[in-house]
Each structure stands twice: as structure tokens, then as C-alpha cells.
Structure 1
Amino acid sequence: MPHLTLLQWGLCFAVVTFGATTQGVVGLGLNLIGVPIIAMINPDAVPASFLLIGIPLSLTISIRERHAIDRSGIGWIVAGRVPGTILGLIVVSALAPNALLIAVGCSIIIGVCLLSLRSPSEITALEAGAAGVAAGALGTAAAVDGPPLALLYQHHAGERLRATLAVSFVVGNVMSLTAIALAGKLGWPQVFFAICMLPAIAIGYAISHPIRARVDGTKLRPYVLLIALSAGFAVLIRGIF
């Protein structure tokens, strides 16, 4: 059981609520917002607890907007996540932790800059598969699998972005949790913290419901680019310092 003060519990609850709200509106944000902050308060919660609480959040989002799931794209994304996860494991074992974070951060920043110039077009199987590989690798290496997928769908309707990313997150989280459990890194402290954060997930999801319609469509793209770019700089700074 985590030994946290009441103030620390409250801060964790607020951070998870805000992260869940952001993800419910934009399509990603729970890990990007929550992991850096909660890692300083309760390091044992990262990444297992976030993988656990991310499943019900992503599952409810995918059910809420199931009509908008890109069924052809998600198949290629999931297929790409398998070799991407393996690639991430290889990179993790080959690079020192700081060098790894710097490489991941730079990759995200460069990717955002390049893809921000991408004109609207239909997503090809090659693009979806490549995004899946990148998501699997980045998710395994630094728990930031959202940006490649969000950038892929940046020109699409908000509901399609949220729904497709949500399905990918459910699959990716299950894969990562399985690996963590087999490695003996998933225990009662992580499960207990995740259970305590479930009300925050529910509140954040409920708050996002009426907000999402106001930032749909083309209004969503700047938020996606900003969050992805912020994630890149956050990972880069973690690697430098």
C-alpha cells in the first residue's frame, strides 16, 4: 500500500482527473500529463498503475464513439505494435536511460514538425502500420505511445481520432501489462493505487462528455499538435536532467 499523505493523494486524484478529462476530449493525455507528475509523488505507480487505469478509460471512450472507429486502420496499427514493442525492448536494452529519453524526445519533436506539414489525405495501410510500430516502440521505451497515433489522425474528425486511439490504447496496455506481470513488476501496491484512482477516471470521463463536441473537427488539430510537442519536450528534458 502506497505511503502517501492526504495532500499527496489529493494531488494524484486531481492530476488523474485532469488527464482523464483531456484524453476524453482530445484522445490522449492521461499518461502524458499524469506520468511525469505522479512519478515524483509515487514512483511505484509508473507505469503499471497507469496501464491499469488506462484500460477502463480507453474502453469507455471506444464504446462511446464505437461508430467512428477506423476499423481498417486499427488492424494495421495493432499489427504494427507487435514488432514496435519488440523494437522498443531492443532499444531499451541497447541505450543508457538518459540517452534513450533524449532519442525518444527528439524523435517525437521531429515527427511533430514534419507531420504538422502533412496535408489532409486518406490514411494508407503503410502509414497506419508505421504509426503502430512507432507507438509500440515509444510506449515500451518511454510510455508515450499516443503522439504517433494522434498525429496520424490529426486531420480527421475528433470522434474518429478518439475512438481509434482508444482501441489501440486498450490493446497496447494489455500487451504491456502482460509483459510487466510476467517480469514480476505488477503487485498489490500498483493495483491498490489504480483502484483508488478509478473514481478520478470516472469523473474525468464524465467531464469530457459535454466538452468534446466544442473542440471537434478542425478545432482539435492544434490541441493534438501541442500535446504531442509538449510530450516530446517533456521526455527530452527528463533525459537531459
Structure 2
Amino acid sequence: MVLAGCWLQSALGFGLAIVAAPIIVLIKPEWVPVMLTVVALPLSAMNVWQLRHHIQLRMMAVPIVARVPGTVIGVWLLMTLNVQWLQISVATAVLMAVVISFWGRKFEATRGRLAWAGLVSGVMGSTTAVGGPPLALVMQHGEPYRIRANLSLYFMCSCLLSLAGYSVGGILNSELLWQSLSFVPISVLGLMLGTRSRGYIDGGRFRPILMWLCGVAGTVALVGAIWGGI
């Protein structure tokens, strides 16, 4: 599942947590989200290096900065509100955004929209462990190679922020770190497979796959929240 997630994230720009987290949390719940974050960091860094000429650094600074208060808000919400209803609300919002995107008009990824997407991504990443869809939905009408490059940069910075938080909070210990690092070679293989798939995906299939994946992410998060309350 990690291999499939790394392949999808390299081919599309995101997808590792969406594919791997629902399975891993059933087998080794203590690995989520730390292990996926450790694996996603070098994967995102390698994608950033590959796609560095397509990154729009000034534009992406906005959602990266907005991610910080979003993460803080998400942690605060987890500590004060009913987690199940919070996760259901966030997942439902993502599904509604997917439906609106199918029927709505084409729009540009302005700095204001990217800021809101970064904020919501921080909240969603903290509460459901899936933070990619908000930003991907805002950027969906851009060029595939730019979306892929910009998302890779965003996730690299997000992983650094998250790992710093895990370290300060005492969640990341040496045993968990070494277990997580053992999956890094799989991420390299996933990168190779994903790189080979980009031409196929970019041939008019990028946006449909992106929308489908966002829908799956919202559904998985919604089912997981409901299941957790049963």
C-alpha cells in the first residue's frame, strides 16, 4: 500500500496518505500518521528536485504559511470538540467541494483561494490525516506539471512542520523513526513508477483522476469517522 501510495503521489502530486493510511491504521495504528510523514518527506523532496523548474515559489508561499495556523486550529479543535462530528463535517465539506467542482465554472488559483486552501488543509490534515484535497481542488484547473510540482513543495514543507511537532510532542521516538525509515526504499521505487506514469496521466486524464481521488479521500475520511463512532 505504501508503494501504491508513493506511485500515485509521484504521478499525480498527492495520494500517499489516502491510499496507505486506511490499511496501515488497521494493521499498525501506531504508525499513523508518523510513519507516513517520514516516508512522504523524502518522496516529496525527490519530486521537488525532479520538478524544480515548474515550481511557483512565490505563489506557494501563501498556502505554506497558511498551513501553520490551520494546523494549530486543527489541534485545538481536536482537544475541544467532538472528534467524530468534526471529522464528518470536514469530510462532507470535501465531498461537497468535489460535486461543486464538477458542475461549477472554471476558476483561477488566486492567492486568496490558496490561502484558504492552505488553512483548511492544515485543519483537515490535523483532524483526518488527509490534507491534500483542499489545495488540489483549488489548483485543479492549472497545468498538470505545475500542480504536481507545487503540491510536492507544499507537502515537503508540511512534513517538516509535522515532524517538528511530533518531535516536540514526544510522539516521534527512535524506534518509530527507524521503522519508518525502513520504508524509504519503497518510496524510491514508487517515485520511479510514478515518473513513468506522468505522460499517461497528463494526456487529458489528470483532472478526472484528481477529482476522483479527492472524492475517495472525502469518502474514506467520512466512513472512517462514522466507523470510529460505532
User: Who is 1:11 aligned against?
Assistant: none
Q: Per the alignment, in what secondary structure is the counterpart of residue 193 of structure 2?
A: helix
Q: Distance in 1 between matches of 2:72 and 2:210?
A: 27
User: Who is 1:137 aligned against?
Assistant: 123
Output one character per residue of 1:155-180: Cα deviation in whole Å (capped at 9) or x when no partner. Answer: 11211111101111011111111111
Gapped regions of structure 2 (runs ≥ 5): none
Task: Please give the residue correspondences for 1:24-35 in structure 2 after superposition, counting only pairs within 5 Å.
Answer: 24-35=10-21
Q: 1:207 aligns with which of 190, 193, 207?
A: 193
| More moved, 117-126 vs 208-217 | 117-126
Gapped regions of structure 1 (runs ≥ 5): 1-14
User: Do the aligned partners of 1:155 and 1:221 also contact (CA within 8 Å) in 2?
Assistant: yes
**TM-score normalised by structure 1 residue count:** 0.90
Output one character per residue of 1:30-51: Cα deviation in whole Å (capped at 9) or x when no partner. Answer: 1111111011111111111111
Asked whether 1:99 is paired with 2:88, we answer: no
Task: Please give the residue correspondences for 1:221-232 in structure 2 after superposition, counting only pairs within 5 Å.
Answer: 221-232=207-218
Q: Per the alignment, in what secondary structure is the counterpart of residue 183 of structure 2?
A: helix
User: Who is 2:170 aligned against?
Assistant: 184
Output one character per residue of 1:116-160: Cα deviation in whole Å (capped at 9) or x when no partner. Answer: 334334321101111110111111111111001111111112111
| Closer, same or farther: CA 178–227 of 1 in aligned 2, 3 Å | same
User: Do the aligned partners of 1:98 and 1:238 also contact (CA within 8 Å) in 2?
Assistant: no
Asked whether 1:235 is paired with 2:221, we answer: yes
Task: Please give the residue correspondences for 1:71-220 in structure 2 after superposition, counting only pairs within 5 Å.
Answer: 71-216=57-202, 218-220=204-206
State the 4+ residue runs in structure 1 displaced beyond 4 angstroms: none
**TM-score normalised by structure 2 residue count:** 0.94
TM-aligned CA deviation for residue 87 of structure 1: 1.5
Alignment coverage as a number of residue pairs: 227
Q: Distance in 1 between matches of 2:138 and 2:100?
A: 11
Q: Distance in 2 between matches of 1:32 and 1:99?
A: 20
TM-aligned CA deviation for residue 70 of structure 1: 2.2
Output one character per residue of 1:10-39: Cα deviation in whole Å (capped at 9) or x when no partner. Answer: xxxxx1111100111111111111111011
User: Do the aligned partners of 1:108 and 1:229 also contact (CA within 8 Å) in 2?
Assistant: yes
Q: Distance in 2 between matches of 1:135 and 1:231?
A: 13
| Closer, same or farther: CA 58–31 of 1 in aligned 2, 3 Å | same
Q: Distance in 2 between matches of 1:27 and 1:118?
A: 23
